[in-house]
Structure 1
Amino acid sequence: MRNGSISYAICFLVLVFGLSGCVTSNNNGDENVSDKPKIINESKTVDDFKVSINVKKSHKEPKIYATITYMGEESEKDIYHGGSVFFFNIYQQDGDFEFMESMTLPLLTTTLIQNEPLRVDLNGIERLKLESGTYKFEATANFSLDSEKVIESKIEIPVYKIEEID
């Protein structure tokens, strides 16, 4: 009789834990009722810098821009970078389109003001003639904090957003 009770208890525990493994949660209480993934603006904070990418749909072409915000203790911070603080890339998720921006301009200095975002737009997206589809829009902040040791003190902060284009 004792072995029977233990067997029932073990079966009950296996059943309870087995069923609880079938439940999924997204930890924020929001329910995603569609098949599509949630699409959000992506931001990332590294050290004293917050980087974000934004994709705004319009009736013609999307508008893509990235921001970098210095959140440190100083009132301003100089950063050193190529022609732009950001490299922009676009990858079609349901096709084979790729756009990868390159930078060949000389070293520039930008002064970031504490808690004031610096906005950089991706210009010329209309020339890319994006077809309908799902795209990963990526912006990588690429800068240095030391003009004498640019390579050694390089910081890269990538962010992305996935968006459907009609």
Structure 2
Amino acid sequence: MKKIFLIYTLTILVVLGLYGCQQTEQVKDIKPPKPDELYKNSEVIKGDFIYRLVTEKEHYDEGENVKIYAELEYVGEEDQVEITHGSSPFLFPMTETTRDYEIAYAVNLPGNSTILKKDEPMRQEYRGGGGYAEHNKEEYKVFIKKVMKQDFPSGHYIVNGFADFHLVDKVKDEEKYIIEAQIEFYVDSEK
């Protein structure tokens, strides 16, 4: 078990390192869209599940706490179902488009289970993400360190969130679900 965890951890670090290698600190001009063009929440239905991804605002000020959360709701015929997942079924990877930076988001190995009661959403807030390798450029490291502390630098962020879990079914094999949604927000520089 320790060997599997070590391999999984090393794989994540290598992937994060490869993402960071390709990054530059070249910032594009931010052209704010019209308010009705931003999408601050998204809802996707797959089978008996509804996945929601939400940011509370379209624009945040630099230094302001960015509030993002995900929900998973069971809406099927049973009173409740059991799902298995990693430390959480929710992942919040992002892209910061003005710098073209990828912000990874990882969870621990599978092994947790949760009972979802019908029509009672499970909710989790974003708690920071990202990572870097020693060979990454210093600008990228500085950027990611800020994001890891949830202190987002100015820019345009797209959250490519998803719920990743298995539905436990006593009659047949577990059914794998990956439900994806996308939202965006801007962090505006201090004036």
What is the TM-score when the length of structure 1 is the normalising length? 0.70
Match of 2:99 among 89, 95, 112: 95
How far the C-alpha of 1:129 sits from its partner, in A, is: 3.0
In structure 2, what is the equivalent of residue 39 of structure 1? 39
Q: What percent of counterpart residues are identical?
A: 28
In structure 2, what is the equivalent of residue 130 of structure 1? 152
How far the C-alpha of 1:98 sits from its partner, in A, is: 1.9
CA contact (8 A) 2:156 2:184 kept: yes
Deviates more, 1:134-143 or 1:58-67: 58-67
| Greater RCO (Cα-Cα under 8 Å, separation 6 or more) | 2
- The 2-side partners of 1:130 and 1:34 are apart by 22
Per-residue CA distance 1:59-106 (angstroms, 9 max, x = gap): 612111100000001111111111101111111122222211122234
- The 2-side partners of 1:142 and 1:123 are apart by 17
How far the C-alpha of 1:126 sits from its partner, in A, is: 6.0
Give the letter aligned to residue 160 of structure 1: Q
Give the letter aligned to residue 153 of structure 2: E
Give the letter aligned to residue 108 of structure 1: N
Superposition CA RMSD, Å? 2.4
Count of residues in Structure 1 that have an aligned counterpart in Structure 2: 132
User: Between Structure 1 and Structure 2, whose CA radius of gyration is higher?
Assistant: 1
Shift in CA distance, 108/147, structure 1 to aligned 2, threshold 3 Å: farther
Match of 2:164 among 136, 139, 142: 142
Give the letter aligned to residue 137 of structure 1: V
- The 2-side partners of 1:36 and 1:70 are apart by 30
1:65 aligns with 2:69: yes
CA contact (8 A) 2:96 2:103 kept: no
1:156 aligns with 2:178: yes
3-state DSSP of counterpart to 1:84 = coil
1:3-82 pair list within 5 angstroms: 34=34, 37-57=37-57, 60-82=64-86
Match of 2:89 among 66, 72, 85: 85
How far the C-alpha of 1:147 sits from its partner, in A, is: 7.6
Higher strand share: 1
How far the C-alpha of 1:128 sits from its partner, in A, is: 4.5
Per-residue CA distance 1:96-140 (angstroms, 9 max, x = gap): 222111222341110011011110111135614321111101221
- The 1-side partners of 2:162 and 2:109 are apart by 16
**What 5-or-longer segments of structure 2 have no aligned partner?**
1-32, 129-146
What is the TM-score when the length of structure 2 is the normalising length? 0.61
**What 5-or-longer segments of structure 1 have no aligned partner?**
1-32
- The 2-side partners of 1:121 and 1:35 are apart by 24
